Every structure is written in structure tokens, then in C-alpha cells.
Amino acid sequence: MSENRAHVVKADRRAGKDRREFTASERLLLVSSLILICLVAVVGRLGYLQLVCHTEYLARAARQQQRIMDITPKRGSIYDRNLDPLAMSIPVDSVFAVPIEVADVQLAAQLLSRVLGIPSEVLEAKLASAQSFAWIARKVPPDKKEAVEALNLKGIYFQKENQRIYPKRDLAAHVLGFVDLDEKGLAGIEYGLDTQIRGKSEKIVVMADARQRWFDRVEAQRERGADVVLTLDEQIQYIAERELVAAISKTHALAGMVVVMNPNNGEILALANWPKFNPNAATEASAEARMNRAVTALYEPGSTFKLITLAAAFDQGIVRPEGVFDCENGAVYLAGHRIRDHEPFGLLTVSDILARSSDVGAIKIALKLGAPKFYDYIRAFGFGQLTGVDLPGESKGLLRRLENWSAISIGSISMGQEVGVTPIQLLAAVSAIANGGLLYRPHVVAGLRRDNKALPREGVLSPVEPRRVIQPETAATLRRLMEGVILHGTGKLAHLDGWTAAGKTGSAQKIDPSTGRYSHTQLIASFAGLAPINNPAVTILVSLDSPVGQREGGQVAAPVFKRIAEQVLAYLDVPRDVPVEPQLIRVAYQDRNASNLAALTDFTPTDFVALPDLPPAESSGTNARRAIDKARAVTVAVDEGRDILVPDFLGKTMREVTETCLKLGVDPFLVGSGLARSQTPAAGMKVRPGAKLTVQFGAPGEKIAKPKRKSRR
């Protein structure tokens, strides 16, 4: 036994020698290594989650915690050429709810229904949803906002949005267009330039906790869109719309249209349509009322197209104004078809063919010209193709290819049939005749601005060089012949008091749907004209669809041209080139004051005749308006018992001479244009009140002719 115990002791001693004890430093190092390994593992995992999986987990959190809602962006304003606002956006309140916070859904729906006028069932469905955000009512009036606020309902909040308003209501509505609830353009300039006007989309971010309770919101940075400056003139637009409404009321036409253009650059100064609509409530108007007929409506132009026929013939040198054609007593046969004239004309000069609007004469001129050249000129004037006007929905018209013309097409087209045009195409062509033969692209946008800085014009707004279509001599000859239309032809009712004018009447027959033939009662009456003749400042197109009673263009459209042209020329301070009586000058000033200072309010044909006197409208202080105010201040002070000392008018403008004569009580007889070069009686002489005072005007260095009264036929 003792031997066994001795053996065990020896074995334990050998084992003790093999097992070494760890020191304190070694133990500390071991523990630190273990901790470091754990930290590396944790940091690695965190790094993987933060760097590699960051995007995925952030998206998950956003889906659970955020609700992003689009709100209407701040649209830029739309101004006329004088920077009078025609469309703008104002801040309004919209009502939204966080359904999870609404304690009693049924009660809240009933209370909100009474205030907002929305069925309680609809509101209850919105509030009962599991969403963290729900619109209750968009863009509510201030009184309803206050009423909702007074309910003090938990979970009901307000958000600022932008609402589009049109302060002049239906003025230029077809040019401006309108927007939907989300301020997206749906028509007119609002649609055509929606990307520029609308700006970048705006959003609000609604934050929610784990229980989907709303606790915070963040609004995105708002960047307003670009402002648009139009070529329209608010006052000229008002004149055009007022006179169009008067014509509709008088003729009971189904529809009507007026366009006023500057022929020297293609700027559209006014564009009026009837029926009209209020863009503030566009959804309440019919599609027909919202139609911009000036750029979309196709119609056969009738006799106004004879201007193109004669332009081609004169430019090719195949006819002269004094050339004579046999109109064969009002009938001509073409490819076996008999075409009758509206009167049995015999021998007519080319001038009289246009003045009296002879269809037979126009056909014979076109036949002499030939179909290929005639077709080329029609295309050159822009028919059968887009003008490029910066308004949406433009139609390119209807013009068959030359190879598709029938044997009688050249005769039909020469008098304005078998061809479909838009009003804007026809007026652009007339403007080319007015300015000496250059075809400009019609446009209504003058430019874009942001923060009072002009923006580059790109795309449809890019400037386009005019294209010559006829020679200046051809245009001058046509203007002289068009003057004959007014002086002794079919357009006598378009004669202006104080200015020379030229134009062409049109009475285009419409197709009767029941028979498929031309109607003898349904006509599109039109008049296209320019003034003054030597230096045209405006071109005007008037079109009335199916007038009742008197139906021809010279009867119903020409008088509208006269009323619009006289007011517009006076407003633009275009010098008179025809002597007028002092009484007419006074009336012109009165008419201009009335047209410029009338309030731009809603009006309809039924109440147009009984329009009340309205207070002056707010407008920007342009030079023209200051001149109007000055003219209004002029008082005629005539002392019947004393002679009047004639002042020195040399170097003064026609306006200054006219105002002084009216103030003194003498009868001004004005000749020419420019600055006063001579006068009779001379300065310093004494005349009786009411005496005639002749003043000759001209450019510096121009030879002054002896004053001679012009014919006022």
C-alpha cells in the first residue's frame, strides 16, 4: 500500500511540472483580445448595416413613417404688354385629416358636412381610412376655412396651396386658357407654356410614429414658375370683345371672332371669341364656348381669298389694275359647270373686280395665272400649313395637293371655295400685304421673366425671321385696290373717320348638312382690313357665323371693323391722314376715354345695350394712358366776343396742335403726318372763334405741298 501511495505522489509531481501557471498580464491580454474580437464583430455588423444596407432600411423607414403629398406649385403670372395682370396665383387653405387622430369619425363627418357642403358619407369614408393623410376639401374660401377652424376637431388640419385666379374674368379667356384643381394647364397659354409657368412640383412630408400618429410635417422648397408677358393689350382686347358682343347682339349670329394684329411684327394685340367663358369657372362652360376659333376653326374664306388671287397675278405681272375683263353678264362656264356671279357684271377693270367682288372676274384672272403658279402662291402665303402661332390646338387648314385639283378647282379656289383656312392664317396673309410683302409668324407671347429677369426664348417662342411672299410694289398695288373696296365697293360701311383704310369683304356660304350643298341663308360674314394705308399700324379680321337678317360681310362685319379700328387707332395715337371735323375729333377723344377707362367686367349680349356707367378700372401708368388723362383735362373755352391769337404750331405734333385748337375754339384742318411744317393763318394773327386753321405736317426736309382738301368718299 505504501508503494502505491508513493507511486501516486511521484505521478502528481510529474504533472505539476507539465502544467504552467498564467500570469496576471497574460490573463489581461486574453480578456482584451476576446473583447476586441466582439467589438470588431459588432462594428463590422453596424458598418454593414449603415454602409451596405443603408438605402434599403432608409426606404423601409420612410414607407412606415412618412407620407408625401403633392400640392399645387406656385405658377407664374400672365401679364398683358403693359404688365397689367391677367392671371395670377394666390395662397388659399385646403383641409386635410390624419384619420388615426380623429376620435369620433361619424360625428366629425357630420360637422364637416354642414360646413363644407360635402355629403357626410363621402367624408366618413375618408376619415375611416387607415391612411395617415387624407384630403377633406381643396382650396376652400376663407369663410369656410374659418368655420372648419371653429369646430376645433382633433385630427383636422390646414395646408396652404395656390389657386389660379383671373382678375379680369372672361377678358382674353381663349388666349389665357385655364387650369385644373392641381393647377395644371388645360387650354390656351396655361397649357401651351405649362412647363415654364408651372415650375417645379411642390410636396409636403407628413411624419408619423409607430402607432401612425401624425407629429410633424415638412414643406418642400417652393420655386415659382416663370411669368409670361403677352403681346395683347388689355384695352384693345376690351374694345374688340365689346364690339364683338354688340355685333352678336345685333345680328344674332351663332358665333363670332375678332383678331387685331400689328402687321409689322406679327404681334397679336387682341383676340376675341364668341361664345365666351369665365376661366375662373371653366368647368361650367361648354366645350364650344371654350373653343378658340381664331386658331382652330376651319371655314371657306369666300371673297376675302380674292386678295390671294390678285396678289399672285400682280406679282407675276400678268394683270394690271386698269386691265379689263369681260364678266359675261354674271355667268361663266368652267369644265361644263356654270358659275354665277352675285350680280350680272359686264366689262370690269381689275380694280372693280376686287371692289365689287366679282366671282367671274376672279376666276378669269386665276385662269390666266394658271393652277401651278396659283398653288405656289397659296402655299407661300401659309395656307394649308401651320402658322406656328404660340397657341395650342392650331389647325393647318385644308388645301388639296395640286395633282388632286379637279377641272373646276382653280375657279372655286380663286373665289374662296374648296379651301379651308383659319382666321389667323387669313389675317397673317393680309398683314403681309399691309407691311409690303413679308409674312410674319403670328404670336401672343412677348417674353418670359423670372425675378424681373428675361428668360431665353426657346422652342415655339424662338424668334423666326419673316419670309417674303410678294414684292413691295405688289403689296402697294393691292392696298390701293383694297382702298377702293371701302371707297366705292362692297365695304363702304368700313370707311373710317380720320384715317385711310383698306380691306375686303367676304360672304362665304356654309354647307347645309341636310342637303350637302351650299346654303343660301347660312353664311360666314367677314371683313379683313388694315389702316392707315401708307403706313399700316393694325390689321383687323372680323368674322360672324350665320348672322340673321342682313348676312353679307359688307353689311354686318364691315361696320364692326370701322368701330374697332377707329378706337384702336385713337388709343395707339396713330396720326390721322384724312382731315376731319373738330366735332369728330372730340367724339374720338370721348370714345377713346370710354373704351380705355371702362371697367373690364363680365357682359353679355342681352345686357350690352343697357350697360351702366362704370367706374374707371385700375391700370398701369403707361404713356398712352397719361396722354388720355391729359386729353380729358382739356376744356374748350370759347369766348364769343373776343378774337383769338393764333399760336405758333411749327415743330409740334398733331396731338399738340389738336389739343390747342380745341382749347382755343378754332377749327383744325390737319394735312399729312409728322411734325407741323407750315400753318395758315400765320402765328400771331387774330381770328374769330370757330375759324378754320390749316396745319401742314411732314418729316424734316420734306417738301411741303400746298394744302388741298382730300375727298372723303
User: How does residue 557 score in pLDDT terms, banded at 50, 70 and 90?
Assistant: very high
Cell numbers standing for residue 541: 379680321
Q: Does the structure show a pLDDT above 50 at 451?
A: yes
Q: What pLDDT, in 10s, does the model give residues 503-524?
A: 999 998 888 777 778 887 889 9
Same domain, 499 and 601: no
CATH code for the domain of 142: 3.90.1310.10
- Alpha carbon of 651 to those of 216, 576, 655: distances in Å? 72, 17, 12
| Inside any domain, residue 609 | yes
pLDDT the model gives residue 390: 92
Average the pLDDT over 589-603 and give the result: 44
Q: Does the structure show a pLDDT above 90 at 394?
A: yes
Q: Does the structure show a pLDDT above 80 at 401?
A: yes
| Inside any domain, residue 385 | yes
Same domain, 497 and 404: yes
To 10 degrees, what angle do helices 105-116 and 120-127 make? Answer: 140
Q: Does the structure show a pLDDT above 90 at 472?
A: yes
Q: Does the structure show a pLDDT above 80 at 666?
A: no
Average the pLDDT over 464-490 and give the result: 95
Q: Cα 507 from chain centroid?
A: 27
| Inside any domain, residue 112 | yes
| Inside any domain, residue 287 | yes
pLDDT the model gives residue 594: 47
Same domain, 330 and 209: no
d(CA 707, CA 680): 10
Q: What percent of the chain has pLDDT over 70?
A: 80
Q: How many domains does the chain have?
A: 3
Average the pLDDT over 636-664 and give the result: 72
Task: Convert 199-213 into a string of H (helix), E (strand) and C (coil).
Answer: CCCEEEEEEECCCCC
CATH code for the domain of 601: 3.30.10.20
Contacts of 660 by beta carbon, 8 Å cutoff, 6+ apart: 647, 649, 652
User: How does residue 487 score in pLDDT terms, banded at 50, 70 and 90?
Assistant: very high
d(CA 92, CA 402): 58
Asked if 199 contacts 85 with a C-beta cutoff of 8 angstroms, the reply is no
Average the pLDDT over 662-689 and give the result: 78
> Which is more confident, 513 or 484?
484
C-alpha closest to that of 445 among 430, 435, 433, 458: 458
Average the pLDDT over 26-48 and give the result: 84
Q: Cα 495 from chain centroid?
A: 29
User: How does residue 40 score in pLDDT terms, banded at 50, 70 and 90?
Assistant: confident
User: How does residue 291 score in pLDDT terms, banded at 50, 70 and 90?
Assistant: very high
DSSP state of 48: I
Range among 143-147, 267-271, 652-656 with highest mean pLDDT value:
267-271
| Inside any domain, residue 3 | no
Same domain, 468 and 548: yes
Of the ranges 68-77, 180-189, 477-486, which one carries the lowest mean pLDDT score?
A: 68-77
Residue range(s) defining the domain that contains residue 663: 592-698
CATH code for the domain of 403: 3.40.710.10
Same domain, 216 and 262: no
Range among 47-56, 162-171, 268-277, 703-712 with highest mean pLDDT value:
268-277
Question: Which of the listed residues 591, 607, 623 is the one where a domain comes to its end?
Answer: 591
Question: Which of the listed residues 591, 624, 650 is the one where a domain comes to its end?
Answer: 591
| Inside any domain, residue 42 | no
d(CA 168, CA 617): 10
Asked if 503 contacts 558 with a C-beta cutoff of 8 angstroms, the reply is yes
| Inside any domain, residue 43 | no
d(CA 124, CA 377): 67
Asked if 493 contacts 554 with a C-beta cutoff of 8 angstroms, the reply is yes
Of the ranges 127-131, 294-298, 562-566, which one carries the lowest mean pLDDT score?
A: 127-131
Cell numbers standing for residue 413: 379656289
Cβ atoms within 10 Å of 95's Cβ, excluding its own: 23
pLDDT the model gives residue 610: 32
Asked if 530 contacts 430 with a C-beta cutoff of 8 angstroms, the reply is yes
pLDDT the model gives residue 198: 85
Same domain, 578 and 617: no
Same domain, 645 and 539: no
Q: What pLDDT, in 10s, does the model give residues 332-365?
A: 888 888 888 888 899 999 999 999 999 999 999 9
Asked if 306 contacts 354 with a C-beta cutoff of 8 angstroms, the reply is yes
Same domain, 256 and 285: yes
Q: What pLDDT, in 10s, does the model give residues 136-160?
A: 888 888 888 888 888 888 888 888 8
pLDDT the model gives residue 422: 96
Average the pLDDT over 301-322 and give the result: 95
C-alpha closest to that of 478 among 366, 354, 362: 354
Angle at 425 between CA 356 and CA 461, to 5 degrees: 150
pLDDT the model gives residue 235: 95
d(CA 97, CA 548): 57
Average the pLDDT over 652-666 and give the result: 78
User: How does residue 626 score in pLDDT terms, banded at 50, 70 and 90?
Assistant: very low
Same domain, 111 and 86: yes
Of the ranges 233-242, 567-576, 637-646, 665-674, which one carries the lowest mean pLDDT score?
A: 637-646
pLDDT the model gives residue 315: 96
Angle at 537 between CA 535 and CA 538, to 5 degrees: 130
pLDDT the model gives residue 618: 36
Q: Does the structure show a pLDDT above 60 at 244?
A: yes
3-class DSSP assignment, residue 16: helix
User: How does residue 232 score in pLDDT terms, banded at 50, 70 and 90?
Assistant: very high
Question: Which of the listed residues 205, 230, 255 is the one where a domain comes to its end?
Answer: 230
Q: Cα 95 from chain centroid?
A: 34
pLDDT the model gives residue 682: 85
Q: What pLDDT, in 10s, does the model give residues 369-386?
A: 999 999 999 999 999 999
Query: What does 456-510 look like in DSSP terms, one character per residue?
Result: PP-GGGS----EE-S-HHHHHHHHHHHHHHHHHSTTGGG--SSS--EEEEEEEEE
d(CA 683, CA 660): 13
d(CA 519, CA 538): 33
pLDDT the model gives residue 151: 87
Average the pLDDT over 570-588 and give the result: 75
Read off the pTM: 0.72
User: How does residue 713 score in pLDDT terms, banded at 50, 70 and 90?
Assistant: very low
pLDDT the model gives residue 581: 62
- Average pLDDT of the chain, as a whole number: 82
d(CA 490, CA 562): 14
User: How does residue 19 score in pLDDT terms, banded at 50, 70 and 90?
Assistant: low
d(CA 292, CA 451): 31
pLDDT the model gives residue 707: 38
Q: Does the structure show a pLDDT above 90 at 245?
A: yes
User: How does residue 704 score in pLDDT terms, banded at 50, 70 and 90?
Assistant: very low
Angle at 302 between CA 300 and CA 303, to 5 degrees: 155
pLDDT the model gives residue 1: 53
Same domain, 462 and 610: no
| Inside any domain, residue 254 | yes
pLDDT the model gives residue 462: 80
pLDDT the model gives residue 206: 59
Same domain, 157 and 256: no
Average the pLDDT over 576-580 and give the result: 80
Same domain, 607 and 688: yes
